[in-house]
Structure 1
Amino acid sequence: MASLKDLTTNFVKLDKFVGNEFRRWQKKMLFLLTALKVAYVISAPRPSEKEDETPEDICARSKWDNDDFICRGHILNGMSDTLFDVYQNAESAQEMWSLLETKYMAEDASRKKFLVSNFNNFKFDDNRPTMEQFHEIQRLYDNLKRHDINMDELFVVSSIIDKLPPSWKGVRSILKHKKEEIDLTQLATHLLIEVGI
């Protein structure tokens, strides 16, 4: 069985959390903490002291305290120095985790609205190469998926067709009235044919 030291040294170094891409960092950190068998302290309360404690009660509380210390240390170690300074005084891993989620999930929700707005407001421009713009909107769509914003591909294809430049009115009409559904790859092929590549 691998020792704790082996486990921690064999993990690929996590990128330090600097204040963005919280969900990605959080998932990686949670995986590490789970592998170390200390993630439970984020959600489980510390065993309370009782009047007639058994040795098992004392042992359980001691284990929780030790695991909380390890968990806090790994979370802090996964942060930039600036964020370390902000969160180092949290009394438990649970408190620290909660503070991080409160702050960065709200920012993530705001970022998602911004991403959706960017996609919705995108318009093709006759003065720029069409395929360059198609790849740009495709990147916007991929960014939405990376942030767990799921949109039906048929909706996305239809939306992109609607965003084609005014000079593509005829092509827009042909693509809209196709009997079969087309996916993004097929749409790219149609656009390539139209631009003559």
Structure 2
Amino acid sequence: MPTVSFTPLSSAPAHGEKRPKFSGADFKRWQQKMLFYLNTLNPSRFLKEDPLVVVEGDSDTQRRTATAKELWDFLEKEYKTEDACIKKFVVGKFLDFKMIDSKTVMSQVQEIQIILHDLLAKGMEINEPFQVASIIEKFPLLWKDFKNYLKHKRKELKLEDLIVRLRIEEDNRNIEAKSHKK
């Protein structure tokens, strides 16, 4: 029987591997990467635990350990607060968004989808029926009849189905508008 040899993958980073640098943006993602990196080196406990009591005369070591934890706590407080502000800004952007008649509905739906994606990326939980209902609610005035038609449907629409219906409706309206011009 042939022997098989393999080299186990090491979870520790290579000696020359650089730790992730914080750029000031997307703190949560950086924090997770940093925790993973530190877990591979195993000093991450210093970021979570209070420093050990050090024997008298070794205050330099104690001060560095306390500083690492204090720095980590400061960054977490600072950027989680900033993240909360960004969430509020994106929520406000979503709530204030209004469709207008002078732009195509599909382009405006794409704008709403981008805002919804930002909300989801920031950890906000928005279920699909709410997304569909809110998009329908934001239709422009000229789409009032179609809006009422969709609101009174008994079957709950999926987001994908709504987009297909909107494309069809917008195409039909464009064809109708062209035929009226002739």
TM-score range, shorter chain: 0.7 to 0.9
- Partner residue in 2 for 1:80: none
* SS in structure 1 of the partner of residue 51 of structure 2: coil
Tell me by how many angstroms 1:182 deviates.
1.0
Please, what TM-score do these two structures have when normalized by structure 2?
0.78
CA distance in 2, matches of 1:144, 1:154: 15
Which position in structure 1 is the counterpart of 2:49?
44
Aligned to 1:179: 154
**2:14 is aligned with what amino acid?**
D
Q: Secondary structure at the match of 2:156?
A: coil
SS in 2 for 1:126: coil
CA distance in 2, matches of 1:163, 1:5: 50
Instruction: Check conservation: 1:123, 1:165, Cα contact below 8 A.
Output: yes
CA contact (8 A) 1:162 1:172 kept: yes
CA contact (8 A) 2:12 2:40 kept: no
Q: How does 1:13-92 map to 2 (within 5 A)?
A: 14=20, 16-49=21-54, 91-92=66-67
How far apart are the structure 1 equivalents of 2:91 and 2:16? 38
Structure 2 vs 1, CA of residues 45 and 177 (structure 1 numbering), >3 Å: closer, same or farther?
same
Shift, 1:163, TM fit = 0.2
70, 88, 97: which is aligned to 1:113? Answer: 88
CA-to-aligned-CA distance 1:1-41 (integer Å, 9 cap, x gap): 749562662x7x73x42222111211121121112212111
TM-score norm. by structure 1 comes to 0.72
Residues 37 and 193 (structure 1), Cα distance of their counterparts in 2 relative to 1, 3 Å cut: same
Q: Give % identity.
A: 36
Alignment partner, residue 179 of structure 2: none
Q: Secondary structure at the match of 1:6?
A: coil
Unaligned stretches of 5+ residues in structure 2: 1-7, 173-182
Aligned to 2:74: 99
Partners in 2 of 1:24 and 1:17 — Cα distance? 10
Q: What are structure 1's unaligned runs of at least 5 residues?
A: 52-60, 73-90
Matched, 1:124 2:132: no
Cα RMSD after superposing both structures: 2.8
Contact 2:13 2:37 in 1 (8 A): no
Aligned to 1:168: 143
Q: Secondary structure at the match of 1:92?
A: helix
Residue 194 (structure 1) aligns with: 169
Moved more, 159-168 or 123-132: 123-132
Q: CA 1:39/1:190 → structure 2, altered by over 3 Å: closer, same or farther? A: same
Q: Which has the larger radius of gyration?
A: 2
Match of 1:6 in 2: 14
Q: Quick one: which amino acid aligns to residue 33 of structure 1?
A: L
